Structure 1
């Protein structure tokens, strides 16, 4: 009897809760009058958020359906007051009813906000106000004393400037308005928080085109209008890949024998020991929770060459030259680099005459780095036959296994990934079939090449029969910094730089590093996960002079100096952990994103009518199944029993990962009371788990199946 009474009471409470609660989708409404060169949608994509785009002008909006609030945040870009006149009352009524915050981006300020404003095309700098820095700090951003340049121009395909205006605003001085950005050379503002008539909004009166300030400010408005509860995740991956490892490269020449007196360099054991120590040091100087590690892409033949042991088994070194987009016909045999018979019964004792090989047979030394294949002999794969590609894979795998290097089956090695020589073979169906038959499913591309770059850089390029005569090979974007492949010294690098840019012969290495840092820090503001391409000679450091860069001081080689300077630049803007993971795991993050895009998850908050407290967040896939994130920049924690895993690094807020499908709803809850319209947050230190993903085996199967469905 008592049990029945309790059950009835529980049911009654549930019914009462449902009657006096409303549901609200976690979905952003993006209203825009002009999206030309806008980066707003790409920043929503960077978090992986759900959003709908409505082109202005619009006569009315659908904001509610079947007693469900369809949007939990609103973004309005490039809108005039006249354009908004027909829908402004509807937006404001909706905002008041559901406590929805609004972001106004380069939109004309109304009279309640601005006593006076004017549009301008002049290039100006802005800085954060004290209130702006306070808001940035809340979201673990920095920006203190940084002078941001407001973007005013984007070059079109004919290198003609498309001009963009910004607003210079004199806000009405009152408690309801908090300036966020101010111009440095005039008495005017470029951003503010406004709390007026029960509506909270954030305003940035600058163009949201390619610029550091646009990307920086996006992290502020995205977090602000969502009250810190985001249907996505944020992570800074700092991935350095070093190609040609174990190779002795000659400066300014791909063939040392052709220029026997040419300077050349192969890293020493001392170089690598220094790099290993430095990685730990710089990780300690990065934001809490950081873990930085270099990944080495190996060519096994150069171990044989150094040890002078069976290195001449390959005799056909014909280099076939084709344009990047060349697609080898499947009925053409292709190259024949490998002879019918060859001796690969290597003597491990002889190979240990190579000091680098001997050093890296030690598991402790291996674990200082991540590893993957770069083919055995660095054969370009654009015209490679199936057999050549198969042997290039198998021989490098053999060198990586016991009784040789013995790293292939260890956690430090990415056995399913490859850096193809010169990013070749990605349009060669025979080569891709051979790689896949050797359980290699992922490669890196080159963002300077359109033919292997995805339309959306948060997703990989995936081959199909049209592009490559092969379906489903995954190519993730990779950045080519201007530290050149055949250079091991600063002098060599600047010599090549000045050959490439004859109008910039006065540029110094320090200036070059500053330009590189300025350029690539922007990628981190974009939350781009692209690895960076370096080469074996760039690791040289043991004979360098001591330098000081940012918080670091030591005998740093070019790669180290580049990383130090870029790290310093990133930390001007963000205090988020910088994390390196091996390529197999990085590829999985891209597959997870693709799977999420396909299953179209829906997040719905259940919110109390009077208190606005969130009782649960219901998550379900629209089609299929996938793994989805939920970020909470709030003073609470996820209930572990309601999610599949929780990720937290250093001072970062928690991100929950939830496995969802289209058959049932997952109910995500918190350990303490969470109010929808309260974004109070104080960052706390301590990692719950390191960055992790689901079982590699499972994701591989899901990933490959997903890719074939796409084509």
Structure 2
């Protein structure tokens, strides 16, 4: 990336020789223009622009120009002379009208999105011999008809895409959607990396009872009928998602909640030994980012039992635990530990943290959770995301085989400050113990202590700056979380057992779906229906251990500095093969290459992947040499 100051800059070397180009595409934001005495003008000179144009022509390199003003440079003019759009409260919907130039982007033609707060310049095409429309603005304000939002120009051998709107992928769902058009166009759908949507919905506190935010002094604990409904719903949802999709929820289990319920049943009162669950007084809460001195603190767990000793008969006295012992029920979900008794771990001793982990391992093994088809042996959802500045707790995690936990993205100290797509690795200085992976996780406005829309709406308004009713909450949730997915964030989302109340709720409608729905069902329907409206991308869930592997591999790949090199035909009219390389041509994890066509190689250590209608992805393991992929059909330049 080249940052161009208002005083200008020297362009990087575009080509080493007349046959070797250094860049496969050029993207320019806002013409790198600054306001001066004569209005806005580019900090690049006319000669520099011409140098880039000549480079494009010589090597078939495409250029994208974002946030530009319509004019003859783009075969257009403004629809209303000198006017942009839109003032506050005025809407012009934007949509893709022709995706043939970037079909691998998987964007739905005609799907509209808001342009509010994105200043833009509705255009009309003045030179149809060189220019064709790829996106349009709908009517709005003083613009009474459709106008052009983006074009592709073919000026002789030089090709460029221009978007007549500002961009803000940090907050705008629309910008996050649009970016896929120009990424796939400028690369011709051939690039190092891959696009994949992982939707992880982790449900904490299973088996516990939750004190509700509203109505006060009310508890809720999930029933088996609620779980039955979610099994059927997940099956149905997967028939409605794009081909290749595989969505499931992941349950975070607290075994002590089962024992609490079991000992209070008639059967459990005689079969449970000990006849009580684990009970303790947690005392005062610590500050959120409290860092405990190693070896300090006082045990609060009872001295007895010293090990997990409840029988399966006891544990099965509770209907909820018994339900999970049915293989089909259990295997409909993924499973991960959330500790045994949900003790706050910020000030926990090693002994107490160890028992929280070990007891839950024993309980999950006893009731069959650990034998599930989708079980994470090495993962943990820390209770209330505590203990991540407690070296004694982290050591207890790792001594029990835990290698990765989830954090909380509302707490920046638990995220990787170098790259938000990487995990954070714990250190002695920052966390008290080194080597634990902390995976980012999104909080949502479906709050942990809410079972119904009125509850979570009330908490959203009173504690989180929300405004409006439950429908307004969902509008906000859709805008926020679809943007995360369009931005290819793989962070799972945080939910809790109370959010699964379904069997006795009022009917609700989300898009095409009506009926009794839990809060998590409403949220997932809202997000997935919008993703399906906008894209053809499959939506996939993977277990906690595998999402940790994805984050770790992403960080490793990035540090290998992967690159690709196009090889052109002898007449330089098409790309015929691609070399995949990295720093030192070695990397401990495979490197992905996305292609619009199939390709073959004679190299070993490669695999091929295609999911649904997504593009082909070739994976290359480098061991000292670049790997060449020969395209099944050439790609014209």
* TM-score, scaled relative to structure 1: 0.79
Q: Structure 1 pair 642/217, CA: closer, same or farther in 2 (3 Å)?
A: farther
- Correspondence for 2:404: 442
Deviation track 1:138-177 (CA, whole Å, cap 9, x = no partner) reads 532125241421544xxxxxxxxxxxx5444444232211
Deviation track 1:381-439 (CA, whole Å, cap 9, x = no partner) reads 111111111111100000011xx222325441111111101111111111111101111
Q: Kindly indicate whether residue 305 of structure 2 is the aligned counterpart of residue 345 of structure 1.
A: no
Q: Kindly indicate whether residue 54 of structure 2 is the aligned counterpart of residue 93 of structure 1.
A: yes
Deviation at 1:331, TM superposition (A): 4.3
- Correspondence for 1:60: 11
Deviation at 1:278, TM superposition (A): 0.6
Deviation at 1:316, TM superposition (A): 3.1
- Correspondence for 1:182: 136
Distance 1:322 1:615 in 2: 61
Deviation at 1:328, TM superposition (A): 1.2
Deviation at 1:522, TM superposition (A): 1.1
Distance 2:557 2:211 in 1: 45
User: The residue matched to 1:242 in structure 2 has which SS?
Assistant: strand
Deviation at 1:178, TM superposition (A): 1.2
2:349 is aligned, of 385, 403, 423, to 385
- Correspondence for 1:41: none
Cα pair 1:279 1:292 within 8 Å, conserved = yes
Distance 2:197 2:430 in 1: 31
1:543 is aligned, of 504, 516, 535, to 504
User: The residue matched to 1:669 in structure 2 has which SS?
Assistant: strand
- Correspondence for 1:417: 379
- Correspondence for 1:582: 543
Distance 2:494 2:374 in 1: 19
Q: Kindly indicate whether residue 453 of structure 2 is the aligned counterpart of residue 490 of structure 1.
A: yes
Q: Structure 1 pair 205/474, CA: closer, same or farther in 2 (3 Å)?
A: same
- Correspondence for 2:268: none
Distance 1:169 1:393 in 2: 61
- Correspondence for 1:644: 606
Q: Kindly indicate whether residue 261 of structure 2 is the aligned counterpart of residue 306 of structure 1.
A: yes
Deviation at 1:57, TM superposition (A): 2.6
Q: Structure 1 pair 496/115, CA: closer, same or farther in 2 (3 Å)?
A: closer
Deviation at 1:95, TM superposition (A): 0.7
Deviation track 1:445-486 (CA, whole Å, cap 9, x = no partner) reads 111112212333211222222211222211111111111111
Question: Please, which moves more after superposition, 650-659 or 483-492?
Answer: 483-492
Cα pair 1:363 1:407 within 8 Å, conserved = no
Q: Structure 1 pair 339/406, CA: closer, same or farther in 2 (3 Å)?
A: same
Cα pair 1:335 1:383 within 8 Å, conserved = no
Deviation at 1:341, TM superposition (A): 5.1
- Correspondence for 1:622: 583
2:634 is aligned, of 629, 652, 674, to 674
Q: Structure 1 pair 241/351, CA: closer, same or farther in 2 (3 Å)?
A: same
Deviation at 1:600, TM superposition (A): 1.4
Distance 1:215 1:345 in 2: 52
Deviation at 1:129, TM superposition (A): 6.2
Distance 1:539 1:169 in 2: 48
Distance 2:102 2:511 in 1: 22
User: Structure 1 stretches of 5 or more lacking a match?
Assistant: 1-29, 35-54, 153-164, 254-258, 678-711
Question: Please, which moves more after superposition, 242-251 or 448-457?
Answer: 448-457
User: The residue matched to 2:358 in structure 1 has which SS?
Assistant: helix
User: The residue matched to 2:370 in structure 1 has which SS?
Assistant: coil
User: Structure 2 stretches of 5 or more lacking a match?
Assistant: 34-40, 264-271
CA RMSD of aligned residues (A): 2.6
Distance 2:275 2:256 in 1: 7
Cα pair 1:136 1:143 within 8 Å, conserved = no
Deviation at 1:56, TM superposition (A): 8.0
Question: Please, which moves more after superposition, 317-326 or 479-488?
Answer: 317-326
What aligned pairs does 1:300-379 form with structure 2 within 5 A after superposition? Answer: 300-308=255-263, 309=272, 310=274, 312=276, 314-333=278-297, 335-339=299-303, 342=306, 344-379=308-343
- Correspondence for 1:70: 22
Question: Please, which moves more after superposition, 108-117 or 547-556?
Answer: 108-117
User: The residue matched to 1:90 in structure 2 has which SS?
Assistant: helix
Distance 1:578 1:503 in 2: 28
Question: Please, which moves more after superposition, 326-335 or 539-548?
Answer: 326-335
What aligned pairs does 1:283-294 form with structure 2 within 5 A after superposition? Answer: 283-294=238-249
* TM-score, scaled relative to structure 2: 0.88
Deviation at 1:33, TM superposition (A): 4.2
2:106 is aligned, of 140, 165, 168, to 140
Cα pair 1:181 1:190 within 8 Å, conserved = yes
Q: Kindly indicate whether residue 363 of structure 2 is the aligned counterpart of residue 408 of structure 1.
A: no
Distance 2:502 2:309 in 1: 34
Cα pair 2:102 2:188 within 8 Å, conserved = no
Deviation track 1:187-223 (CA, whole Å, cap 9, x = no partner) reads 6533211111211111112222131221111100000
Question: Please, which moves more after superposition, 200-209 or 546-555?
Answer: 546-555
Distance 2:553 2:257 in 1: 36
Distance 1:668 1:561 in 2: 44
- Correspondence for 2:201: 240
Deviation track 1:492-539 (CA, whole Å, cap 9, x = no partner) reads 3233334336883xx332332222122211111111111111100111
What aligned pairs does 1:581-620 form with structure 2 within 5 A after superposition? Answer: 581-620=542-581
User: The residue matched to 2:193 in structure 1 has which SS?
Assistant: coil
Q: How many residues align?
A: 604
User: The residue matched to 1:520 in structure 2 has which SS?
Assistant: helix
Q: Kindly indicate whether residue 127 of structure 2 is the aligned counterpart of residue 173 of structure 1.
A: yes
Q: Structure 1 pair 120/33, CA: closer, same or farther in 2 (3 Å)?
A: farther
Cα pair 2:193 2:594 within 8 Å, conserved = no
Deviation at 1:99, TM superposition (A): 0.5
Distance 2:277 2:620 in 1: 52
User: The residue matched to 2:524 in structure 1 has which SS?
Assistant: helix
Cα pair 1:418 1:443 within 8 Å, conserved = yes
Deviation at 1:564, TM superposition (A): 0.8
Distance 1:673 1:136 in 2: 17
Deviation at 1:229, TM superposition (A): 0.4
User: The residue matched to 1:472 in structure 2 has which SS?
Assistant: coil
